[in-house]
Structures are given as C-alpha cells and as structure tokens.
Structure 1
C-alpha cells in the first residue's frame, strides 16, 4: 500500500473518549423483533412509545437498551461480548460500535489571529506573482460586515433571495438556545433537551445559540445587521451537548430520531469527534434520515493547522458518506486555516463550504451577539440555505443534497478543501427550474 502524501495523513491523536455503552445498527427493511433476552438485556425503551418522538435523556441513561426505531439503531448498556449475542438474533446486526463522546467544534482564537495573519501574507504573495510563473490569479472578492448584513449572509447571496425558509422545519442539535433571546421573540421554536439531568434546552454555553442564529436568525434583527439565513423557518432546537460542550452518541442519535419524527427537512450538527474513520451509527442514521426526507449537515472539523503544514481530516459524524460535510471559508473565500481537508476514503470528503471565519451571530443574553470562527459556523450557513432551497423547490433528502452541491459557486480553492464550493441561496425563479 502506498502511503498518502504528508498533507493528507491525519495527525496522530489520542483515541476518542467512549462511554462504555455500545451502539448497535440493525439491518434495514427487516420487521423481525430483536431477541434482547439472548444478550441478557431487559428494560428496553423504544422511541415509538413517546408521542413527541423524544426519548427522555433519563430513559436513555437508565434503560438496558434504547431503540431509535426510525433509524434502526439502538444504544445498549452492555459489554461488547454481551452485545455480540445479538448477532445471532432474528434481526441481523450490521455493526456494533463503542459509544463516542462528541464536543462543540471551536478553534483556538489566539491561534486564529496568528494563522490569519500568516494566511493573508501568503495570499498576498501568491496574488502578487511571487509564488511562481503562470497567469496572475485574479483577487477573489472580499466581503465585510455592514450595518445591513454580515459578510457571510452577503457572500451566500441570501440578501437578494426572496425565500425565507417559511414552512420548513430546521433542527439544530447543539448546546441549545437562549430561549429568552429577544431576536427569537414570536418565532415558532420547539426545544427539547437530550442531556441527562437537564430538562430545559436553555443554552448555558453559547455555541448552540450562535448556530441557531446563523441558520434561522431574523431577517431584520432588532439590533445590529442581519446574521441569519432562513428567517421564517420553524426552529427545532435539540440540546444534545451539555453546557460544558460535550455529549455522547446516545443523546445525538436521540436528537436525530426526534428531528426525523417531527419532519425536519434539515438537521444541523456543529459537533464532532476527531476520529478519521467513519462511525457506523452515523452512516446508518444519515442514510435512513435521507430516506425519510431529512438532510443532515455537519461540520467537517477544525483539526487543521495549515500554517504549519497540517491539513487535518474530516471527523465523525461528518465523515459518513450519507452526511453532508461542510468546510469553512474566510471573507476572501479562501479556506480557513483550521478547516479540515478531505481524506481519500469514502465519506472523508468535504462536500461544500460556507462562511466560517469571524462570524457574527446571536449569543445568550446579556451579550446578545458574538463573533467566533470555525466549521461550526459554516455549517448553519449551509443548513439555512438548505431550508431556502427546500422552500423554493419542494425537494427533500437526496434531491435536496444534490441541489445544494449544484447550487454551489466554484472556487479557486482545491476541491479537497471546499468540495463543490460555496453554497448560494436560491434567487427569483429558482422554484420553477
């Protein structure tokens, strides 16, 4: 086997933390019951037993097994050898994986300042022709925040789109939302917590409020510029990460199952674990969500350090083939220094890109607004745009995915960094195409 070039090799990292539970993926289109007794497992909960589609976090924590029926996945409190007995059960088992712990994806602000400075210097040199012969590369457009709209909202052309996401349900699975934020007063917001011991989806971290704001913030905020994309979408907030910014597969899968049960056309997840291999439960969840009309959009990851020659890799869950992975761009539409690069393996690709550097959005009161960076910030831009395209075309699932990639603006950046390019908002007449 030939080793990949150094820039494509993921840096050595400690193994992702696990919880001791197992995540079991069952075969599709199989109505056979699972013989849980074969593995000595009792007290089994099923998401279909809850009218709202939400499995309470305490139930997930206390049950011997929790089945997310719409996804064909179960989280089991048992040892791997005990779960192995399920492979002989009547319903085929496709995979058994350790339950991972995921975190919000935030890059180091101090490192960003250093990286951006060096990146601008390098870009200036290349545009000035100091990097070698050939035609001079035209300077890309430079976007800036204005009193009317943030640079990201302008770059994706949301300011000129007649679509608002009206009638489209968007789920943001993160640290929750400041439920009393004045910018969301009067909006349709359905909020649930999937964190053990936490009954409210109130955001005590800030990351979730920021992501909800970018995806679905108001068209004309009471104060400051427009920072949100799908201003009239119905907002579904799933608190799957604690106020400390971490959560496990069980809570995240519970959030996905809930979002699918409630007909959310778009599910935005700015979270992950730095593992280069695709995590089987998310491949199954992404595929089965798509089949039911829900597109999962996830952050590619912030594990690159491009100024020092490290390009990182797309982490879980974004590295599943069936989940749309989003890379980050700066205001010059160049790849953010921290944004993960594609690996040459199925699912390891960056699919599209969005604005992810110095992004202004909502923040828990009393701050109200904050500016931060990361592929976490690029992801809700794309999620909001997906809602606009869903409204404009009526497309869902696989068709919506294809539409987003076809509606992307090609960039001078390598496709391993930005995929199909910068996703753009639908304009007048898009729904008739």
Structure 2
C-alpha cells in the first residue's frame, strides 16, 4: 500500500479540523453547528508535585493574602505591581482573579506577543538528531466563520511586566468530564516567565476570536460579540512543566526549556456558568504517544500570528511533514515544520490524524528561528505532559 502523499495528508488534516469544529460528540450524537449567540457571549503548577496543588479553586483570595496581597486592591490595579515580592512564581501560588471588563477592544489591540526565538546556531547543533531545516510553508488564512471551520482554536490574552501580550490556544477534551471540558492547551511561555520570573496575570482565553475574519481596522469598531463570539474565559488554574518553570534544560539566552514548553489552563466564563466545551461546541483530544516524525505524514499548526507581516487579527494555519529539532543532547527532540507564522501563534495547537482517523492535538507552537519566519518547532508530548494534564483533569476538571 502506498504511503499517503503529503499534499493529500494536508488536505485531509484541514478537512478533519473543520469537521471537528462543527460537531461535538455528546452521548454519541453529533451536535448541530455551534453558532455563537448573544447570550453565549454575554492548574498552577508542574503537576509533578501534586501535593502542592490546592484541592479546589475557591481560595484565590487566601493565596494572595499569604503574599500580603488584598484581592480587592488587586482588582483595582495592584496587579500592575511586578516587584519581585509581588510576582508569584511557585506552582502552588498561581492566582488569576476575574476582573470583569478588563479586556476591552483597546487592551486587546495593544497586546503584543512575547518573542520566543532561538539562534540559528543553536538550532543547527547536535547533528544526526536534528533534521535538515524545512522549506518554508506559507501560512494560509483560515476560512470564516471560525466557529464553523476551527472553533476549538482561540487567542490567549495576558499581562506581563512589559505590557499586554497575546498567544494562541486550543480547547481540548477532558476525559473525566465528557462534553463539558473547561481545559485549554497552550505553551508554557504564554503563562509563566520561566526561570527569569513568575506567573503572568489576567490570563483569558477567547475562543474563535474575530470569527468573521474582520481586518484589524474593522475590529476597532466591531461589536464585542464579533471579537469574542463566545465571550472570555478566565484561567482559574494553570499547570505547566517543572522544567519550564525552572529552566532545567536551558538552551538559549532566555533560559527557556522549550522541549517542555507546554501548559494546560482550567478556565471559567467571565459571565455565566456553561462549560467551555458546551459553549463552543467542540474540543479535541490530546495525543501523548509522542509519535516519531518519520511515522507522521503531516502535522498542522493553527494560531493567530501577530508579529509582522501579520497583525494578530486573523487565524492562520500551516501543514507540513514534521522533522526533528534538537536543542540539548540530554533533552527530548522537538517537532519542526516549515511555516511562516510568527510570534503570536505561540501556544497554538499542532494536530495530526491518529490511526483511527481521529484528529488529535500532538504539540503546540513554541519557537521559531531568530531573524526569519521559515519554520516553527513544538515539544513532544510524552509522559510528563500527560501527568500535567491528568492532574488537572482529576483535581479540577469537574469544578
């Protein structure tokens, strides 16, 4: 039997995401298109040390008070204090109180991507493990409306000491809460500064952001439901890898452990009580099998590139046959594909078709080359990533 040609595999992958985005399984019956309505609009830690995680998500005020922070003052602007003593760093200290109305059109417009690049010299090291650099694959705009073709994909907005920032994320299935997942997959560097800092703040997920595909200028005067058709979902807990927090395999000037650059958000709506998956009508499973690049005909990356020549308004995608990238001899290799998406697509999901034809998230955008935008690399999701995910699902999935 002939192997699937990359062009055919790419087309199949794009179609599979569209099918997943328009139907969500619940009790075996596919739902109708999950179209946004006006009413719909209206885990800190590594997971490796589960004992550090609180038993519930209702003690945000208490966690802040332990560090001398009053939650009311926090909402009134104290969150802007990034002094070392106020910047919560440890896994157990994550806190993200909802500040209703904070992310308005102006703050969304001003958000810039945290730059995550690595030098060509570092990327070319460890010959024999790193495959030749892929040819660039031009990113294509996703079809609109996004709720029909890529509903699980969205933008993540957050605050850093340098200002507002943006990444991408994906709604993923929670096996312990079928049909009612509140979990979002993204990159570790989109939620935590790593060894150089702590947790970012005011982290929200906006699924199917700008679902009509309006231009950046048109978005300035667009209705709120055009920017956020399903509303905004605040992270009330986040889990990322201990390697990312501590930078234990640093291979870059920033000290990032990009081979472990992944995170899972547990979210809740800014308004209402419906779960994220019920609201959006779609979610994707996560594949933790770490398939060899040689065994995969195509991987697709989706996200919202913001750095030039893009402006962050539109969702894009790239599909390519993956290769290997090694940054450190004692760390896992990363997946790498050709793609012209830039910063802002960080955290966006990478998808592949599994053996049973199901589309699954297999990685997320982490880094690209310094000084150009010809490829992207993402971590393999193995046992460590699965522990982070399972801890989140088990402890917080039903909350």
TM score, norm. by length of structure 2: 0.30
Q: Work out which structure has the larger RCO, using CA pairs closer than 8 Å and 6 or more positions apart in sequence.
A: 2
TM score, norm. by length of structure 1: 0.28
In our comparison, the structure showing a higher alpha carbon Rg is 1
